[in-house]
Amino acid sequence: MKKIFLLVIVLLLIGWLPNISLQATEVENEPIFHYLLGSIYYEDGDIRAAASEYEKAVQLDSSSPFLHMELGKVYYALGRFDEAVEEFYRTLNFQENNREAYQYLAEIYKRREQDSEAIEFYKKIIELNPEDLEAKLDLARMYEEVKKIDLAIEEYKKIIRIDPEHWEARLSLAAIYEFQGKYRKAIEGYLKCIKIDPENPQIYNKLGALYFSIKNVSKAKENFSKSLEIDPHNLRALHSMALIFEQEKDLDRAIEYLEKINFLQKDVMETYLHLGIIYLQKGDYQKAKEVLQEAAEFKPEDANIWYFLGICLEDEKKYSEAVDAFSKAIKYDPQNTEVYFHLGICYDRLKNFNLSYEALEEVIRINPRHAQARNYLGYSWAERGINLDKALEHIQKALEIDPENGAYIDSLGWVYFQQEEYVRAREELKKAIKLMKDPVIYEHLGDTYNKLGETRRALDAYRKALQLDKKNKKLMEKIRNAKKQLKK
């Protein structure tokens, strides 16, 4: 309609309609003719042609702030910012209180990342009208961009004082408090946003996350549930509920929410992976394998899928299959120490000791502070009575990293035992027992007492070990032998 109206006016001006006495050449000397023709081009999307007509209009009437403003806007649309700036300044020479010119200048300087200049123009708009909420909001956001957070907070508060129902200002203020870790202030802010817009699921999600951060899990669930009442397909709320139930060890409920996500987002590998991990936590190895194998079909090059599939097979004691899975994980992530560590364990279980040692040594090469690998390798050597000096070195380094680890202290004691340093072995094993009651440590202590000729103490240690591992036939035999020794 606007285009038709402009066209009619142009036709009137150039004399196509009767009773118009102006000649075409005279009309073309009128600024309004070029302005109206330019407006038609602009409506048609031909911005360059519009600029050309506006330039002619300004040449014919350089004292018109309106024409300078319109030409500046067209330059802005074309990305000719230097020329646009000149036109907006010319506009302000005639109309120093022209809000629109200041707004465009602010936007141009913001685009150029000349933040201080943009801020000054937003301030100028506010000087023209101290209750200009749009300009105040722009200024507050600029302060956020340049990390002047206190000034941003001040501006948002000014907006809220003028308009307590200003949703964007309240939302931005709450988000700042959230970023600053002022969770209770953020919660207060988001609750006020909810009063203004009670059907906004994203605000309930924010509240849920904040309540979870301050360990108010019941409130977190309440808000995520409210989000899902409004939008049952809200993926963030569904995922958050799954994480909460996983943390609470309510794995069936966690699976329920993850299955909903899986239904809404087909072929998303991360959901399959998460489901597989939870089934693994449940001990449902069959289901875990099914889900992880499905994930592998979507993204066979993802190392995490093969890693967790390997963990599943390792827990099932299917060590050969686990080795295959871990080997694929290494193919796609050759620097993953956890994969090498579990690969080493599986080779150890398969009694392929050389490959086990290679995998564990690779862990230590990649991460010299991997205490578990150092301890496992050192203990493996100690068990076989080989490389005892190197075993001692690895275990001592593991203890430098984790000095109160009972398992590592047991390994140290066992190396001393194998080196026939039985007194030192006894002292370390007694320390280990204080830290963890474990049948293996009690058995090691019993063996050490035996070597020291303290048979009664050995018998006591073996009995304690058997209480913790009631079906261990090897312990039963050691107890029988100790009793025979005492009868002699």
Percent of the chain with pLDDT over 90: 88
**Is residue 290 located within the same domain as residue 356?**
yes
13 in a structural domain: no
Alpha helix ranges (H) inside 95-182? 99-111, 115-128, 133-145, 149-162, 167-179
pLDDT number for residue 472: 95
Alpha helix ranges (H) inside 20-98? 24-27, 31-44, 47-60, 65-78, 81-94
Last residue of some domain: 430, 446, 470?
430
125 in a structural domain: no
**Is residue 311 located within the same domain as residue 326?**
yes
**Spatial distance between the Cα atoms of 2 and 70, rounded to a whole number of angstroms:** 17
270 vs 138: which has the higher pLDDT: 138
Three-point CA angle 166, 167, 170, nearest 5°: 90
Region 110-121: mean pLDDT is 95
**Is residue 280 located within the same domain as residue 363?**
yes
CA distances from 158 to 49, 120, 155, 169 (A): 44, 18, 5, 9
**Is residue 361 located within the same domain as residue 274?**
yes
**Is residue 273 located within the same domain as residue 336?**
yes
**At 351, is the secondary structure helix, strand, or coil?**
coil
CATH code of the domain in which 469 resides: 1.25.40.10
**Is residue 322 located within the same domain as residue 392?**
no
**Is residue 271 located within the same domain as residue 360?**
yes
392 in a structural domain: yes
Last residue of some domain: 367, 390, 411?
367
Tokens found for residue 488: 């002699």
The pTM for the full model equals 0.73
Nearest to 447 by CA among 411, 475, 406: 475
State the total domains in the chain. 3
**Is residue 359 located within the same domain as residue 272?**
yes
Region 182-194: mean pLDDT is 97
393 in a structural domain: yes
Q: Does the pLDDT value for residue 297 go beyond 70?
A: yes
* Whether 186 contacts 174, CB under 8 Å: yes
Last residue of some domain: 367, 394, 416?
367
pLDDT number for residue 25: 54
The string of pLDDT tens digits covering residues 40-93 is: 999 999 999 999 999 999 999 999 999 999 999 999 999 999 999 999 999 999
Region 11-27: mean pLDDT is 46
242 in a structural domain: no
**Is residue 276 located within the same domain as residue 346?**
yes
352 in a structural domain: yes
**Spatial distance between the Cα atoms of 258 and 238, rounded to a whole number of angstroms:** 7
pLDDT number for residue 388: 97
Which of 274-288, 319-333, 408-422 has the lowest average pLDDT?
Answer: 274-288
74 vs 296: which has the higher pLDDT: 74
**Is residue 389 located within the same domain as residue 352?**
no
**Is residue 278 located within the same domain as residue 309?**
yes
Three-point CA angle 354, 358, 362, nearest 5°: 170
**Spatial distance between the Cα atoms of 139 and 106, rounded to a whole number of angstroms:** 10
Q: Does the pLDDT value for residue 10 go beyond 80?
A: no
The string of pLDDT tens digits covering residues 462-480 is: 999 999 999 999 999 999 9
473 in a structural domain: yes
5 in a structural domain: no
Region 161-174: mean pLDDT is 97
**Spatial distance between the Cα atoms of 241 and 235, rounded to a whole number of angstroms:** 10
pLDDT number for residue 153: 97
Which residues form the domain of 282? 267-367
